[in-house]
């Protein structure tokens, strides 16, 4: 499976405390979170724990170099 690009901008979301599985393959239908579409592909979700209510910019292009959150890598695609 080749990594997919769901969108070339971040998913900016207000997040409640909890643990989230960020989709790293781009195939999930529940972007930016994992729905298990990666099974058998060699990709795995990245787990992120959010301690307090906050706004996060989740990577939408799946080409970030710094984990689950947008680092601007989409600008080079």
* DSSP track, 35-75: -STTTTSS--PEEEEE-S-EEEEE-SSS--SSTTB--SGGG
For the cut 90, the answer to whether the pLDDT of residue 48 exceeds it is yes
Task: Report the predicted TM-score, pTM, of the whole model to 2 decimal places.
Answer: 0.91
Domain of 33, in residue numbers: 19-76
Average pLDDT estimate for 54-76: 94
Q: Is residue 26 a part of any domain in this protein? A: yes
- In-domain check, residue 68: yes
Number of domains composing the chain: 1
Looking at residue 7, what is its pLDDT? 96
Residue 2 binned pLDDT confidence (cut-offs 50, 70, 90): confident
Is residue 63 one of the residues assigned to a domain? yes
Asked whether residue 50 is assigned to any structural domain, the reply reads yes
Question: Is residue 51 in some structural domain?
Answer: yes
């Amino acid at each position: 499976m080749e990594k997919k690009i769901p969108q070339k901008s971040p998913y900016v979301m207000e997040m409640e405390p909890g643990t989230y599985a960020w989709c790293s393959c781009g195939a999930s239908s529940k972007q930016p979170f994992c729905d298990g579409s990666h099974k058998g592909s060699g990709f795995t979700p990245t787990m992120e724990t959010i301690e307090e209510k906050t706004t996060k910019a989740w990577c939408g292009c799946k080409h970030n170099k710094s984990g689950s959150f947008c680092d601007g890598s989409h600008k080079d695609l």
